[in-house]
Structure 1
Amino acid sequence: MRRRGRVCAALLVVLSFSVAAGCSRADHGPAPDPSATAVWRPEPGLAWQWQLDGRVDPSADVPVYDIDAFENDRADVARLHRAGRKVICYVNVGAWEDYRPDADAFPRAVLGEPNGWHGERWLDIREISVLRPIMERRFDMCRDKGFDAVEPDLVEGYGNETGFPLTARDQLAYNRMIASIARERGLAVGLKNDLAQIPQLVDDFDFAVNEQCAEYGECARLTPFVEAGKAVFHVEYSEPARAFCPESRRLGLSSMRKRPELGVWRDPC
């Protein structure tokens, strides 16, 4: 499994997590009516900022921010909106995280093998009836905080050692369920990595998020999203920008280099 852009102590990166930052439902305010506005559809080439390390720093002059669902509150999202930004809500949907405030909502039966990140275990995505209400509550949180879209992480468990006999069909069913609960709440939804299933899922998702396609020589596999007029938000961690930016521009990707901790620093194409 490739790294997925979270801040975890297992890789000598300190996760500054605060349950108090943005987890109080009293701060959410009334939920917007999903039928009142169309779902946002980001177009190819939009510049973006991806910051999962703590509360958002709004200093990057870009039109799109992707930030953690739990570590930011409604006021953080509203501040970005006032500056003219669209805001994506990062949510882990494929693994249990023992440091999240809703960790106790997951039955132990759906918790699989550790996924390589401190305090995390793969989920049995076949148990849709168990996981759907949990994910609905998380997406409700994104909606109620005013986010425009969701970035669901770890949606390719079937290709990893999860402790469960997951199949590609299981993953397709789960990913489509995730897309549906986002859309039901008026949220755009992005497909994170899962390159092998892009042909089957491009119509179900509004944009893509990718890590390290240049390093692995796979960026052309994201072309179906660009051809459909949908943005591909892409990062590299070890490749210098000069090495991947020419191809990213040719393919229409929204690319930048980030440090693994996903803090404020960015080196865009």
Structure 2
Amino acid sequence: MSRSAGTWWRPTPGLQWQYQLTTPVKLDVDVPVYDIDAFENDAEVVAALHAAGRRVIAYVDVGAAEEYRPDYADFPPEVLGKKVRGWSDERWLDIRRLDVLGPIMARRFDMCRDKGFDAVEPDMVEAYTHRTGFPLTAEDQLTYNRFIADLAHERGLAVGLKNDLAQIPDLVDHFDFAVNEQCVEYEEWTALLPFVEGRQGGVPRRVRAAGPPVLPRHRAARLQLHPQERRPRRPALGRRLTSTCLAGHRYCSRPWPTSPSKPPGRSTTPSRTTTRSSSRTRSRAERWTARC
């Protein structure tokens, strides 16, 4: 389904974001958009955020099976591949098996719709670049990602493309916004420009956040960042939103350099799953919070 055919909510440029996968969700952050875990938060949390005038995005893993999710038993052994590097409680999925995965993901997105979420952020959607235990191809990934986008749109949900930079030209018309990890650190904004070109001037924006500086001055100067800007951990870019990068607890928008100094450096390399913490004792949300 083309994104232009639907009436679901679409982010607009310049929005600020709160990204929190831990619970309980901090409800008093003064930003218009929240991105929270779909399973760990009930409809009351979403309703409370809506009552405060927030839009709410649901984080959902669609490319790997997490052992701690309540529907893990729905995945038959034949679709479970190798463990995700650095995440011993996750197994890659055989995304070619839409006959098996389709109903499971449909139920997950039904849950998001029923809880009142406005959008979904499907994670682990570049499996073909990893050693999953399955002979996945780029075409397999395109088919699956388009299928996931259609599932969301059929339920009136906006959908974001997570990483998968190399396939943006083939997927930009199917997704409403994009989320890219460590966008500024690896100077990957050029690959994400299709999500903002021709919209509000087509200039992506960068994050400025409060807090102590964690970015070396020479690195800040190279990226034309203020040295007090925190190094982003989980950046996000929006089609009608803006390209922004998460630092600490909130997203703030300021103009990017209009002529990036180099093209994206990792568009053909494995995704950020290879750079995640290898801790075996904490959940995904706890580890991400520790990294932020």
Report the residue type matching 1:42 in the other structure: P
Aligned residue number for residue 84 of structure 1: 53
Structure 1: distance between partners of 2:207 and 2:93: 25
Aligned residue number for residue 253 of structure 1: 243
When the two structures are aligned, how many residues end up with a matched partner? Answer: 227
CA contact (8 A) 1:235 1:258 kept: no
Per-residue deviation at 1:254? 2.1
In structure 2, relative to structure 1, the CA distance for the partners of 1:233 and 1:198 (3 Å cut) is farther
CA contact (8 A) 1:53 1:261 kept: no
Pairing 1:148–2:123 present:
no
Per-residue deviation at 1:129? 1.0
CA RMSD of the aligned region, Å?
A: 3.0
Pick the aligned partner of 1:182 from 143, 152, 156: 152
Report the residue type matching 2:246 in the other structure: M
| 1:55-204 pair list within 5 angstroms | 55-116=24-85, 117-204=87-174
Relative to the length of structure 1, the TM-score reads 0.77
Per-residue deviation at 1:233? 9.9
Task: Tell me which moved more, 253-262 or 220-229.
Answer: 253-262
Structure 2: distance between partners of 1:263 and 1:84: 25
Relative to the length of structure 2, the TM-score reads 0.71
Structure 2: distance between partners of 1:235 and 1:99: 33
Structure 2: distance between partners of 1:241 and 1:128: 45
- Give 3-state SS (helix, strand or coil) of 1:208's partner: strand
- Give 3-state SS (helix, strand or coil) of 2:180's partner: strand
Pick the aligned partner of 2:178 from 200, 208, 219: 208
In the alignment, structure 1 segments of 5+ residues that lack a partner are 1-36
Report the residue type matching 1:171 in the other structure: Q
Structure 1: distance between partners of 2:106 and 2:54: 25
Runs of 4+ in 1 over 2 A off after TM superposition: 228-236, 238-248, 258-266
Aligned residue number for residue 231 of structure 2: none
Per-residue deviation at 1:229? 3.8
Pairing 1:47–2:16 present:
yes
Per-residue deviation at 1:58? 1.1
Per-residue deviation at 1:234? 8.3
Q: Sequence identity of aligned pairs in percent?
A: 60
CA contact (8 A) 2:128 2:136 kept: yes
Report the residue type matching 2:59 in the other structure: Y
CA contact (8 A) 2:63 2:125 kept: yes
In structure 2, relative to structure 1, the CA distance for the partners of 1:88 and 1:43 (3 Å cut) is same
In structure 2, relative to structure 1, the CA distance for the partners of 1:265 and 1:233 (3 Å cut) is farther
